[in-house]
Structure 1
C-alpha cells in the first residue's frame, strides 16, 4: 500500500488550497472533512426550495479575484465564472441618498461630489500598485514585499483611515460612511489600524478586480479545487472527523485547516506546554449571526440605486458604526448591530426563480451570542427597505454560537478565526519565524488563524503547504497551479 505523503484536515478554502499545492508538487495527498460535503466557508445548498441555492457562509469573493493563489489557479479557465454587479457595494443612509461604490472609479467619484477628488486620491494610487498591495497584505508577513513601493503607498492611507482622526478625511457623511462600512469587515473595534488596512484593501479592489459573485454559488470555487486535487491523485474523505493526531500516523506530514482550538483538540497531547500556553492565549473576535431569506421580490430599498449593488452595508453613520462595532468587540449585545446583506441575483439571475430570490445576510454580534438573529436582521433591513418584511417567503437564522457548531473553526461564531487586532493580524497564531510550523515534527497549521488571515484567498493554506514541502520533502520551488493545457 502506498504511503500517504501528506494528510490535510479540513476542506475549507485553505485546506483545499494546501492540498492543491501539495498534489501539484507530486505528493500523495488525503483530505479529511468532518461534514458530509466539502467547502467549509464555500458551501452552498438549497434551504427552502430545491431550485434556489443559498451560500451558507461566504457569498462575495474579492479575494478569489485578486489573490496570488487564485490568479495562478485561474478559476475562469476551470469554468468558474465570477460575475460583477455594476455597483460593488452600497451604504444606505437615513433620509438621504446612499453611498455607492461603483466598480468604475470615475462613476464613484462623480457620485461622491465634494469628496470625489479625495476618494480618487485615496484609491487611485492603490489601484496603480494593486498587485503589489494585494501580494504584500496576502502574504506570510515575514518577508520584504516584492513591490517595494507598495508599503509606502499603503501606510499613510492606513494611518489616515484607521486612526481616531479618520472622521476628518472626507467632508461628507456619505463618503465617510461608505468607507467605514468596508472597515467593518475587520469585525472588531473601530477605528483601528487593522480595520484601516482592511478598508483600503477591499475598498480599492471594489474599483479594480471587483467584488464578484460566482455563477452557481460559492460551492463552484470549492468544486474546482477539489477537481484539481483528485485529478492529481488526491483522495477526499467526507464525513470523517479527526479527533486525534494518531489517526494520521500513516501520513508523512499533516496539515490542519483548523483554529488553534482545533489544533489543541487534535494534537494537544503532543504539543509542548509552552506552545500550548501560547495557543491558549490566542484571541477570538466577535461573532457573526447569519440569516437566509427567501423573498418574492427584489429588496425594496428606499434608495432604488442600492438595488444595483451586490453587497450592502447597514450601519448608519460613521460615528454610529464606530460606536456599535466597538460595543460588539467588547461583548456588549445591542438590537442594532452592523449588518451585511448580499442579493446574489444582482449579478447572477440564475440563482433564483420567478417569485423566489435568495437573500444572504449576517450581523456582527458578541462572540458566543446565542440569540436567534432573524428578527434583528429583518428589522435592520426594513429600516432602509420599507416593505421588505412583506416580501419574505421563508427565513432561517443561525446564532453565533450555532455557527461554531456548524463549523468548529468559527469559535464563538468568529468567522475570521481570530481577532483582527494589529498585532494578531500579523503574529497569528503565535509569534515565530514560520507561523505555519508547529513544534510537533511534520505537523503544520494552515488556516485563517495563520497569516494572512480570513477571507477566501487560499494563501494561508498555500503558504503552509510550501513550508511543509520545503521542510519535509526538500521541495523549494513552488509548483505550478495553472490548469492543464
Structure 2
C-alpha cells in the first residue's frame, strides 16, 4: 500500500521533508499559499532589472554542510557554492578589520597575542565541521551522533559570549570577531549558550566557509524543486490551506508553519496542553532589511573587507553587546548590529556590469515600526567613508513588511521564535517528540522545531524521519558525505 503525506508550507524545511519522504516511497503533495516556493530562501530583482537580491538568507555556513542537503546531492541538481577570499570581516574604528580566514591557522596567526586561545576555542569545530553540524542540527535532548565531540563543544558553548571573549582574548580584534558570530543568536551576549553560536559559526567559517549560492539563495530552492519533480512530488502554489479537514485523506500532514500559523488553522485537532504551549510561544527580535545597489564596491577603510562574504558592521565587543542588549529591552539601538553580505564580489550575475548588490539587515525589536534605514547607512559609512555616494538604488523592508511577505516571519523574526530560556532546548513545546504536533498524524517541521532557523532543511528532515518511524518505514541512514573541499579565494 502506498503511503501518502501532505505538507503545508514550502520553505526549505517543507521541501526537505518532502524529499526525505519521497525517498522512502511516500507519495507527497505540497501546498504553498504563495506564488513561489522557498519561504524566506528566495531571490528576486527587487533592485531593478538585471539584479538578484536575496529576500531572506544570503550566506550559508549551515547550508553547504547540511546533512540533508549533502545527502540529497543538491550540487548534482544545479546548485553551485561560491566562496569569497574571507568568509567574514569585522571592521573596527581603528580602520583595520578583524578577518575570519577560511582556515583556522591563518585566522589565529593574524590575531597574534590571541592565537593560542582562538585555536583552543575553535579547533574542534574547524577540524570536524560535518560531524559538528550533525550534532548541532538536531534535537539537543538526544544522544548526539558524535557524543565526545558534542561534549567538548558543550564545554565551550555553555557560557555567555561577552564573558568568554573578555576572559579568553586580550585584543579587541579577537573579541569583536567572536562577538559578531555570537550575535547570530539574536540574544544579548550575556545570555548563556551565546558562546556556542560564536564557536560554531566561527568554526564553520574556518572550514566549510560561509558561501553564497551562485545566482542567489533561490538557486538552493531551484535545486530542491528539480529533485522533487524527478521524485514525483506534487507542488501546488497559490494554494492556501485554512482547514485541514478540506484536504484529502493522508497518512500524515506536516506543517512548515510557526506556532501562530498552526493555531490559526482549522481542523487540526490540537487542544489541551499542546495548544496552550503554542499560545505561549515567544517570538524573537526582528530584522530591518536594507538592500543596496551600488555603482561599485563599498569603499571600506580596510580594503581587504571588500573581499569578505559577510561583514558584521558593529564595532567593538562593547558596541555589539550594547546593541543586542538594547534590542532585548525593546529599544532600537542608536548603532544597531548590522549584518551585511557582498555576493557580487564573487557572483557577477547579481547585478549589471560594474554594479554591486549589497544585502543587509539590522537587529531591531520585534515588530519595530521605526525608520531604521538611516541608522544602517550610518553604521556602514562609519567604516566605509563615501559609502552613501556609491548608492544608486535601495530598498528598505521593515519587520512588518517581512511578515506581510512571509507570515512565518512574525514581527520580522527570521528564526521561527526566540532562543531565550527553554525555547532554545524545547521547541516548540516541552517534549521529547518535538516534531509531533499534538494530534494523531499531525507533525510540525518549521524553524520553530529543532534545530531552529537557517537554510539547512534539517527541521523538515527530522520531522520526515518521525513520520517514517510512525508509519513503520525505517528511515534510511543519512549518507555520510564526502569531505567538502576547503574554500579557496574569490
Fold agreement, TM-score > 0.5: yes
- What is aligned with 1:253? 252
The corresponding residue for 2:153 is 154
The answer for the alignment partner of 2:57 in structure 1 is 58
- Equivalent position of 1:283 in the other structure: 282
Q: 1:309-328 alignment to 2 at 5 Å?
A: 309-328=308-327
Q: For structure 1, which segment, 384-393 or 186-195, has the greater mean C-alpha deviation from structure 2 after superposition?
A: 186-195
* Structure 1 residues 480 and 23, CA gap change in structure 2 (3 angstroms): farther
How large is the RMSD of aligned CA atoms in angstroms? 1.9
Q: How many Å apart are 1:370 and its aligned residue?
A: 1.4
CA distance in 2, matches of 1:170, 1:48: 41
Find the residue that maps to 1:360 and give its secondary structure: strand
Matches within 5 A, 1:9-408: 9-160=8-159, 162=161, 164-267=163-266, 270-408=269-407
Deviation at 1:97, TM superposition (A): 1.2
Deviation beyond 6 Å, 4+ runs, structure 1: 479-483
Q: For the residues of structure 2 that align with 1:146 and 1:226, how far apart are their CA atoms?
A: 29
1:481 shift after superposition: 7.6
What CA distance in whole angstroms lies between the structure 2 residues aligned with 1:157 and 1:326? Answer: 22
Note the alpha carbon deviations across 1:215-266, whole angstroms, 9 max, x for none. Answer: 1111111011111112111111111111222232433321000101111111
Whole-angstrom CA distance in 1 between matches of 2:215 and 2:232 = 26
**How far, CA to CA, are the matches of 2:64 and 2:347 in structure 1?**
16
Cα distance, 1:273–1:198 mapped onto 2, change above 3 Å: same
Distance 1:121 1:257 in 2: 38
Q: Structure 2 length normalisation: TM-score?
A: 0.94
Q: 1:479 to 1:125 in 2, by over 3 A?
A: closer
In 1, distance between residues paired with 2:137 and 2:266? 27
- Paired with 1:476 and 1:151, the residues of 2 have a C-alpha distance of 26
Contact 2:368 2:399 in 1 (8 A): yes
Q: Which moved more, 1:295-304 or 1:3-12?
A: 3-12
SS in 2 for 1:393: strand
Cα shift readout 1:394-426 (whole Å, capped 9, x = no counterpart): 111111121111111111110001111252112
User: How far apart, CA to CA, are the structure 1 residues paired with 2:57 and 2:382?
Assistant: 24
The alignment partner of 2:311 has SS state of strand
Change (3 A) 1:155 1:324: same
- Within a 5 Å distance, the mapping from 1:415-454 to structure 2 comes to 415-421=414-420, 423-454=422-453
Partner Cα separation in structure 2 for residue 335 and residue 244 of structure 1: 44
Deviation at 1:450, TM superposition (A): 0.1
- Alignment gaps of 5+ in structure 2: 482-490
Q: Indicate the residue corresponding to 1:470 in structure 2.
A: 469
- SS of equivalent residue, structure 1 residue 155: helix
Match of 2:91, SS state, is strand
Q: What secondary structure is seen at the aligned counterpart in 2 of 1:386?
A: coil
Unaligned runs of 5+ in 1: none
Write out per-residue CA displacement over residues 434-480 of structure 1, whole angstroms, 9 at most, x where no aligned residue. 10002211110001000011111111001001111211x21122377
- TM-score relative to the length of structure 1: 0.95
> In the aligned structure 2, how far is the partner of 1:347 from the partner of 1:179?
25
Cα distance in 2, alignment partners of residues 106 and 187 from structure 1: 28
Do the aligned partners of 1:39 and 1:222 also contact (CA within 8 Å) in 2? yes
Deviations 1:260-284 (A, max 9, x none): 1111111476211321111111111
Q: C-alpha separation between the residues in 2 aligned to 1:342 and 1:393?
A: 17
SS at match of 2:147: coil
Q: What SS class does the counterpart of residue 371 from structure 1 fall into?
A: coil
Q: Would you say the 8 A contact 1:11–1:39 is kept in 2?
A: yes
Contact in 2 for aligned 1:340/1:363 (Cα 8 Å): yes
Contact 1:4 1:30 in 2 (8 A): no
> 110-119 or 6-15, which moves further after superposition?
110-119
Asked whether the 8 Å contact 1:341–1:360 carries over to 2, the reply is: yes
Distance of 2:53 and 2:298 partners within structure 1 = 16
1:334: how far off?
Answer: 2.6
